[in-house]
Structure formats: structure tokens, C-alpha cells
């Protein structure tokens, strides 16, 4: 379970990117954070990934206060998580294989196991035939799928995705959401930042509405 208590985030005074956000996400939930551009979706996801710290507030993951975890133990926390960044953050001068293998590099797994997992992960996003290609030579949607393969390669318990279907055609967007659903059905908690209303309506199980950094509503579907 993920619990956020009174999270505030200020990048620059006097503006608050996140103001007083409290929410709960159950293990195995498939949820969306939605809201207009600038409402704080990316900020909230980056805070959850502990990439940035909130100015105020507490976050508990399965009862552990993750903001109190010392820096040298953060990698252990991150290993529980996968993230698809809004801008993908791929290494363009390295192969698709190398990009997807990144989260496995610090695990100390044997090379053979790394190759097996990378291949399986790429197969899940239907991109295994491009394993030795370079991201620069892939289409936008293919690059997005590399980013997703990298996020799921270490079988994260928590999968975060920031606008994972932005700029994709509806068919591919649907396909990618179906991949997330599959991962969710395998037990992962999935949290997606998106403003694609149609997809949210179709896939959303729990929906948080953000506006100007505040939660202005919450919806649960049975
Ligand atoms: N690195 C930063 N430095 C300063 N201000 C920032 C930074 N990142 C975001 N902000 C500000 O914080 C607010 C929330 O931004 P954020 O990127 O979280 O919104 P978003 O909901 O993800 O928007 P979008 O839908 O456009 O991706 C905005 O007002 C933005 O200008
Ligand atoms: Mg964003």
C-alpha cells in the first residue's frame, strides 16, 4: 500500500507545484492521476519515484517511510519500482538491449539471465526483433515501448508511467495500456499520469483528479 500524507512541493517561490496532497493507493490497484497541463502529475510521479523530494509531507510504502530512507539504500527501494518517464530518457548511442538492461545491471544477475529477461520484456511490448537496433532509428511509438520494456524488466512491484500513451495513435495507446493491465494482473500496482480521458474511462480503476497541484476529486470504479 502506498500512502501520501500532506505532500507539498515547491520548485520556486511563491508557486506550489503540489499543495497538500494526501492519497492512498492499494497494492494491486490500477490507477490514474489526471489533470490539465501543469497540474502536477509529473511532479507527483517523480516524488513517488523519490527522484525529487517533496518540500513537506510523508510517504509510506507498505508502512515504510520512504523519505527517511538514507541515500545509500535508495537503490533497493528503486528496485521495487519501474518508471516510464514522459520524455523516455533513452540512451540513443546504445542498443535497445543495453537500454532495457539498465535496471538489471546493479542486481548482479548472470549475463544469461539478464539476456533472458531483456528478451522477455521486449517480447511483452512486441519489440524483441529490434533488440540490437539503436533508439535513434526507431519510431516514436517504438521508443516508447523500449522505455516501457525497461520499466518492467525487473518485474517491479510498483509501475509508474508518465503520459505513456501521449502522441501515440489510439490503437497503439490501447495496446500499451493492455500491456500495463497485464503487468497489473501479474500483481504490480500501476500508477499512470495521463490526460487521455477515453483511456482513463476505459482502463481506470481508481482516478485522482489534480488541479493546480491539489486533488480536487477521486473516483473509484467497482
Ligand atoms: N523543474 C522544475 N522547475 C520549476 N518548476 C517546475 C519544474 N517542473 C515543473 N514545474 C512546475 O510545476 C508545476 C507542475 O508541473 P508538472 O510537470 O508536474 O505538471 P504536469 O501535470 O505533469 O503537466 P503536463 O501535463 O504538461 O505534463 C508547473 O507549474 C510547472 O511549471
Ligand atoms: Mg507531465
Percentage of the residues of the chain whose pLDDT score is greater than 90: 73
Average pLDDT, the chain: 93
Q: Which ligand is nearest to the CA of 21?
A: 1
152 has pLDDT over 90: yes
Q: Is 222 inside a domain boundary?
A: no
Q: Is 163 inside a domain boundary?
A: yes
Q: Give the per-residue pLDDT at 101.
A: 96
CA of 16 to the centre of ligand 1 (A): 10
Which residue's C-alpha comes closest to atom 31 of ligand 1? 38
Which residue's C-alpha comes closest to atom 28 of ligand 1? 38
Q: Is 175 inside a domain boundary?
A: yes
Which residue's C-alpha comes closest to atom 26 of ligand 1? 37
Task: In whole angstroms, give the CA distance from residue 77 to residue 174.
Answer: 30
Percentage of the residues of the chain whose pLDDT score is greater than 70: 100
DSSP 19-37: EEEEEEE-TT-EEEEE-ST
Q: Are 147 and 102 in contact (CB under 8 A)?
A: no
Q: Give the per-residue pLDDT at 108.
A: 84
Query: Using one digit for the tens of pLDDT, what is the confidence trace for 172-215?
Result: 888 889 989 999 999 999 999 998 888 898 888 899 999 999 99
pLDDT classification of 127: cutoffs 50, 70, 90: very high
CATH code, domain carrying 93: 3.40.50.300
Q: Are 13 and 207 in contact (CB under 8 A)?
A: no
Ligand 1 site residues, Cβ closer than 6 angstroms: 11-12, 17, 35, 37-43, 86, 195
Cell 497541463 -> residue: 37
DSSP 49-68: TTSS--SEEEEEETTEEGGG
Task: In whole angstroms, give the CA distance from residue 30 to residue 9.
Answer: 24
CA of 182 to the centre of ligand 2 (A): 24
Domain ranges, residue 53: 2-217
Which residue's C-alpha comes closest to atom 17 of ligand 1? 42
Contacts of 127 (CB under 8 A, 6+ apart): 96, 142, 145, 146, 149
Q: Is 115 inside a domain boundary?
A: yes
Q: What is the DSSP letter of 33?
A: E
Q: Is 101 inside a domain boundary?
A: yes
Query: Using one digit for the tens of pLDDT, what is the confidence trace for 9-65?
Result: 999 999 999 999 999 999 999 999 999 999 999 999 999 999 999 999 999 999 999
- Own/partner pairs for 167-171, CB < 8 Å, 24+ apart? 167/140, 168/140, 168/141, 168/144, 169/141, 170/198
Q: What is the DSSP letter of 133?
A: S
Structural domain tally of the chain?
1
Q: What is the DSSP letter of 71?
A: G
Which residue's C-alpha comes closest to atom 29 of ligand 1? 38
Residue 217 grid cell:
476529486
DSSP 86-113: TT----TTS-HHHHHHHHHHTTT--HHH
Determine the residue of 8, 13, 34, 39 to mutate for testing ligand 1's pocket, defined as the one with the most ligand atoms within 8 A of the Cβ atom.
Answer: 39
Atom of ligand 1 minimally distant from the CA of 9:
12
Amino acid at each position: 500500500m502506498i500512502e501520501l500524507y500532506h505532500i507539498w512541493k515547491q520548485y520556486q517561490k511563491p508557486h506550489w507545484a503540489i499543495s497538500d496532497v494526501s492519497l492512498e493507493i492499494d497494492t494491486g490497484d490500477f490507477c490514474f492521476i489526471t489533470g490539465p497541463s501543469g497540474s502536477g502529475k509529473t511532479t507527483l510521479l517523480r516524488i513517488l519515484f523519490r527522484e525529487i523530494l517533496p518540500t513537506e509531507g510523508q510517504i509510506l510504502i507498505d508502512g515504510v517511510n520512504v523519505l527517511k530512507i538514507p541515500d545509500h539504500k535508495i537503490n533497493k527501494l528503486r528496485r521495487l519500482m519501474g518508471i516510464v518517464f514522459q520524455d523516455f530518457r533513452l540512451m540513443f548511442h546504445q542498443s535497445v538491449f543495453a537500454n532495457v538492461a539498465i535496471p538489471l545491471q546493479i542486481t548482479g544477475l548472470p549475463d544469461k539471465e539478464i539476456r533472458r529477461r531483456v528478451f522477455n520484456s521486449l517480447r511483452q511490448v512486441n519489440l524483441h526483433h529490434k533488440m540490437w537496433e539503436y533508439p535513434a532509428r526507431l519510431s516514436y511509438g517504438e521508443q516508447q515501448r523500449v522505455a516501457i520494456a525497461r520499466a518492467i524488466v525487473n518485474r517491479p512491484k510498483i509501475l509508474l508511467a508518465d503520459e505513456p500513451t501521449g502522441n501515440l495513435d489510439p490503437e497503439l495507446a490501447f495496446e500499451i495500456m493492455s500491456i500495463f493491465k497485464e503487468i497489473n494482473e501479474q500483481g504490480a500496482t500501476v500508477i499512470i499520469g495521463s490526460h487521455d480521458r477515453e483511456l482513463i474511462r476505459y482502463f481506470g480503476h481508481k482516478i485522482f483528479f489534480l488541479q493546480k497541484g491539489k486533488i480536487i476529486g477521486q473516483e473509484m470504479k467497482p
